[in-house]
């Protein structure tokens, strides 16, 4: 498929990645980067939350979609989003009733913690984050496989369910840029698997979706890998100087799918070049992660994290 009218994404950005010790923290609470006109990617600071999630804002002619509200109180995010929407709505097509929809890649705490800052915002809908709320809001009749459209006004997104990490996970595809956002389902980091069978089916559907659409970038909400294949930062890391890009290719997505097929029903930690699967929540997963986290935390506190 030709990239007819495709808007290129500017992914060449150095993301804030925390500080080597508590005394050397200087990142802003949020980093705001315009990937393309009307496509904004925001990262929360590792100084505030080790999760340092990415938050996506897509602005159309009639309304905007904010995907996630982060891992901490949303006051700073609300101010940032207000400013971005004011600026967008002040352009010729703008109007004062420009609407905002706050939805979520999935319902885990590090993606919904800022919701309260948006509930009283005028012209704003905050979508719930369980399966029933997500199905009802987006109008799914065939969850999760159905691909539904969501129109921002001259910008029609595609949304479908991708359970496995979380029951209410959704993928959002923007045909205008080729960006496919998968939340915590596929990203360079530790992919926690809640339901292996659901994730197997989800990864097959993501790969099939990329075969049918012109997907240029696969995005997730975190980065936890280092730039060395198969090597992740410790859980809870506050300093990640050698992060890979949060953007992955469809080839990497396919490799992630193939890798998961090989280990899907073996609880534990499974390392691959681009991702680490953490299957199940038992001691085989929790104990090594927590032990390593403790050591890394101690080193960070004395300024020796690297």
Query: Using CB atoms within 10 A of its CB, is residue 118 exposed (0-12), middle (13-18) or buried (19+)?
Result: buried
In angstroms, give the least distance from the CB of 222 to Zn ion: 6
Report H helices in 102-184.
Answer: 109-112, 131-138
Question: Alpha-carbon distance 292 to 235, whole Å?
Answer: 7
Q: Does 184 bind Zn ion (CB under 5 A)?
A: yes
Which residue number, 38 or 53, has a Cβ lying nearer to Zn ion?
53
- In degrees, rounded to 5, the angle at the alpha carbon of residue 215 between the alpha carbons of residues 98 and 148 is 50
Question: Alpha-carbon distance 292 to 286, whole Å?
Answer: 10
Segment contacting Zn ion by CB under 5 A, of 40-48, 105-113, 205-213, 237-245: 105-113
Which residue number, 184 or 243, has a Cβ lying nearer to Zn ion?
184
113 near 73, Cβ under 8 Å? yes
In angstroms, give the least distance from the CB of 272 to Zn ion: 19
Q: What is the DSSP letter of 225?
A: B
In angstroms, give the least distance from the CB of 176 to Zn ion: 26
Segment contacting Zn ion by CB under 5 A, of 79-87, 109-117, 187-195, 261-269: 109-117
Which residue number, 110 or 115, has a Cβ lying nearer to Zn ion?
110
H or E element: which one contains 53?
none
Answer for which of 68, 110, 115, 174 binds Zn ion (CB under 5 A) is 110
Segment contacting Zn ion by CB under 5 A, of 106-114, 167-175, 202-210, 273-281: 106-114
What would the x/- binding string for Zn ion be over residues 217 to 236, using CB under 5 A? --------------------
Q: For 168, how many CA atoms within 13 A lie in the half-sphere containing its CB?
A: 22
Segment contacting Zn ion by CB under 5 A, of 15-23, 28-36, 42-50, 178-186: 178-186
Residues 6+ apart with CB under 8 A from 8: 36, 177
How many residues contact Zn ion, by CB under 5 A?
A: 2
In angstroms, give the least distance from the CB of 51 to Zn ion: 6
Judged by the rule CB under 5 A, the positions of this chain that interact with Zn ion are: 110, 184
């Amino acid at each position: 498929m030709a990239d007819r009218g495709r808007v290129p994404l500017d992914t060449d950005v150095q993301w804030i990645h925390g500080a080597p010790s508590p005394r050397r923290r200087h990142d802003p609470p949020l980093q705001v980067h315009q990937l393309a006109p009307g496509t904004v990617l925001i990262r929360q600071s590792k100084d505030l939350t080790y999760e340092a999630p990415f938050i996506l804002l897509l602005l159309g002619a009639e309304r905007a979609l904010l995907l996630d509200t982060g891992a901490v109180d949303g006051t700073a995010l609300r101010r940032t989003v207000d400013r971005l929407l004011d600026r967008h709505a002040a352009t010729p097509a703008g109007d004062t009733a420009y609407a905002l929809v706050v939805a979520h890649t999935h319902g885990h705490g590090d993606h919904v913690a800022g919701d309260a800052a948006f509930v009283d915002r005028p012209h704003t809908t905050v979508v719930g984050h369980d399966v029933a709320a997500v199905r009802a809001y987006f109008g799914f009749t065939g969850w999760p496989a159905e691909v539904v459209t969501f129109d921002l006004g001259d910008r029609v997104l595609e949304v479908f369910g991708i359970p496995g990490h979380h029951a209410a996970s959704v993928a959002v595809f923007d045909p205008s840029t080729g960006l496919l956002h998968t939340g915590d389902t596929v990203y360079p980091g530790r992919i926690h698997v809640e339901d292996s069978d659901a994730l197997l089916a989800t990864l097959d559907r993501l790969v099939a979706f990329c075969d049918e659409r012109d997907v240029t970038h696969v995005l997730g909400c975190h980065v936890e890998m280092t730039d060395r294949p198969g090597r992740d930062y410790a859980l809870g890391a506050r300093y990640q100087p050698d992060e890979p890009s949060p953007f992955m290719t469809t080839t990497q997505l396919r490799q992630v799918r193939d890798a998961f097929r090989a280990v899907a029903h073996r609880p534990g930690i499974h390392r691959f070049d681009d991702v680490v699967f953490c299957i199940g929540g038992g001691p085989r997963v929790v104990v090594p992660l927590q032990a390593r986290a403790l050591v890394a935390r101690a080193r960070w506190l004395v300024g020796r994290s690297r």
